[in-house]
Structure 1
Amino acid sequence: MSEIPKGTAEGRVSHWQLQHIVGQLREARDDWRTRNRRVSGEHGGRELPSRAAMGEILEALAGALFPMRLGPVDLREESEDFYVGHTLDVALNALLAQTRLELRYVAHQQGQSIEGIDQRALELIQDLALALPGIRRLLDTDVLAAYQGDPAARSVDEVLLCYPGILAIIHHRLAHHLYRAGLPLLARISAEIAHSATGIDIHPGAQIGPSFFIDHGTGVVIGETAIIGERVRIYQAVTLGAKRFPADENGNLHKGECRHPIVEDDVVIYAGATILGRITIGKGSTIGGNVWLTRSVPAGSNLTQANLLHNDDGTQK
């Protein structure tokens, strides 16, 4: 191990007892790795994908999808194709490296062979590359829905540049593809980058149809198994969550069960509504602000706090 310097670059003596602290941190890491039966990465290198690298990749992919809006400030239309091609080449190669890391990590964790992983990673990123035109067209419907759904929006360009819901859905469309491709860690990192930037928490497993609009957006939560239809609009602080978390006899949560709502086409959900469990919100329904909902409602429903019926014990009928 390299010796920890006792002074700074300017020659000043360090006050931080770095030799002692670094040694204790090494012991803590070694203890954790031993308890969790972790092995070092290949050649002692990084074992897991990088959040920082994924941030750069996502920014580059967004620029390639919308070059004259989210690309470089000095980009001109005559060089658009060159920029898109170059940016995609760099971003997809970087994503390929992150994909290899996730696939190798999973293989090591499960005691599987890493033979064929590099080819598998290449095929997955090739599939994503071919899907990008379709993702762009899908995002166009989201941008248009935001413009048409908000009277304050002056142009689709303003929506694309300024609206947090659009940034969140750009990340989600890309993350959802990664999730379905069998790259849940890269997908989750992508979603959490958008969550940090916007306050909108969309699990990459959620299925969301075209023309989706999140207005304002802060505090929105959409769970892993939620299914959202076409032309759905939701406002800030809406939760599409799970009602309960079933566990086995040892207290371990069951994974992969369908536990989040289904929201059919043309539904509007206003600010602060909490919708829990595997229930269905029927087509064309409107859910008012701050409504707490744990039962399915038929198509065309109009629910507010005032018109919800309750049993004697306070539960919903």
Structure 2
Amino acid sequence: MREQHIFHYTLARLAPFLERATLEVLSERDFSTAMGLAGEDLAALIESDPSHRGLEQCYLETCSPFIAVATYRLAHACWPCEPMLAMKLCHAARVATSVEIHPGATIGRCFVVDHGTGTVIGETTVIGRDCTILNAVLLGSRRMNANQPGKRHPTLGDRVSVGAYSQLLGNIMIGDDVRIHPWSVITRDMLPFERACGVPMNPLPQDMPGSILTQ
């Protein structure tokens, strides 16, 4: 089954960074639902990025950001009952891929992290469906220390794209179909279909081309 294929390749990439006992525990679990979601993430990545010529096996073997997303799906499934196991997975993925996604984050279907290096997604982040995040993006809290429990990270709607090196900070709401250009710092809510660029964020006309996100 495709889910099993993704599962085994994900564990193979994480194996150098996990204890053998942890790998054995994981191999005995049923992660079909989590890997089904990872399969949808992989399909979205293949559709959005032609650089691997659409070869699914090539993405599995060489695309570190996807391994980070697949590991998040595993870790999120473990998080409610086995937070230690979930955090071990998160740590292994961070070392293996340079992408950190907290297992407590809530992420919708068809999620794409492209390039990915340096991207951090905090614990109480909520991300909708069909969202794309590039490298060195921070979805973080407003404070560097003394953070209190509770919602402190951004909420992104559906079909949101976040350009490289952008920072979205605090418990803010980013509406559906928002486009955030590279190097932007966002500390306030954004309405659906808004475009943003700069430090501090400046709204842009809604007809700005989306291709700038990848430039």
Determine the structure 2 residue equivalent to 1:160.
Answer: 60
Bigger proportion of residues as helix: 1
1:201 aligned partner, one-letter code: E
How high is the sequence identity, in percent, across the aligned residues?
Answer: 32
Name the amino acid aligned to 1:94. Answer: E
Matched, 1:94 2:20: no
Secondary structure in 2 matching 1:219 = coil
Matching residue within 160, 165, 178 for 1:272? 165
Closer, same or farther: CA 93–146 of 1 in aligned 2, 3 Å: closer
Q: CA deviation at 1:65?
A: 2.0
Runs of 4+ in 1 over 3 A off after TM superposition: 90-94
Matches within 5 A, 1:1-317: 65-66=4-5, 70=9, 94-95=24-25, 128-129=29-30, 132-155=31-54, 156-181=56-81, 183-244=82-143, 247=146, 253-255=147-149, 257-305=150-198, 308=202
User: What amino acid is aligned across from residue 261 of structure 1 in structure 2?
Assistant: P
Distance 1:276 1:70, change over 3 A: same
Q: Which runs of 5+ in 2 are unaligned?
A: 11-19, 204-215
Q: Distance in 2 between matches of 1:152 and 1:142?
A: 16
8 Å Cα contact 1:286-1:303 kept in structure 2: yes
1:246 Cα offset (Å): 7.8
Residue-by-residue CA offset, 1:34-69 (whole Å, 9 max, x unaligned):
xxxxxxxxxxxxxxxxxxxxxxxxxxxxx9721798
Query: Quick one: distance in 2 between partners of 1:67 and 1:286?
Result: 30
Quick one: distance in 1 between partners of 2:133 and 2:68? 13
Q: Name the structure with the higher strand share.
A: 2
Segments of 5+ residues of structure 1 without an aligned counterpart are 1-62, 72-89, 97-124, 248-252, 310-317
Q: Is the 8 A contact 2:6 2:39 kept in 1?
A: no
Q: Deviations over 1:6-40 (max 9, x none)?
A: xxxxxxxxxxxxxxxxxxxxxxxxxxxxxxxxxxx
Give the letter for the 1:200 counterpart. V
Normalised TM-score (structure 1): 0.55
Superposition TM-score, scaled by structure 2 size: 0.80
Q: In 2, distance between residues paired with 1:204 and 1:302? A: 29
Q: Is the 8 A contact 1:69 1:160 kept in 2?
A: no
Aligned length: 191
**Per-residue deviation, residues 127-183 of structure 1 (Å, max 9, x unmatched):** x52xx22122211110011111113131222222211111101111111111122x2
* Secondary structure, counterpart of 1:66 in structure 2: helix
Q: Tell me, in whole angstroms, the C-alpha distance in 2 between the residues paired with 1:290 and 1:93.
A: 38
Write out per-residue CA displacement over residues 163-212 of structure 1, whole angstroms, 9 at most, x where no aligned residue. 1111101111111111122x211111110100001100111101111101
The structure showing larger relative contact order (alpha-carbon pairs under 8 Å, at least 6 residues apart) is 2
CA distance change for structure 1 residues 285 and 93 in 2, over 3 Å: closer, same or farther?
A: closer
CA contact (8 A) 2:35 2:73 kept: no
* Equivalent residue letter for 1:290: W
Q: Cα distance, 1:299 vs. partner?
A: 0.5
Conservation of the 8 A alpha-carbon contact between 2:131 and 2:158: yes
Judged with a 3 Å threshold, the aligned counterparts in structure 2 of structure 1 residues 216 and 266 are, in CA distance, closer, same or farther, namely same
- Paired residue secondary structure (2:139): strand
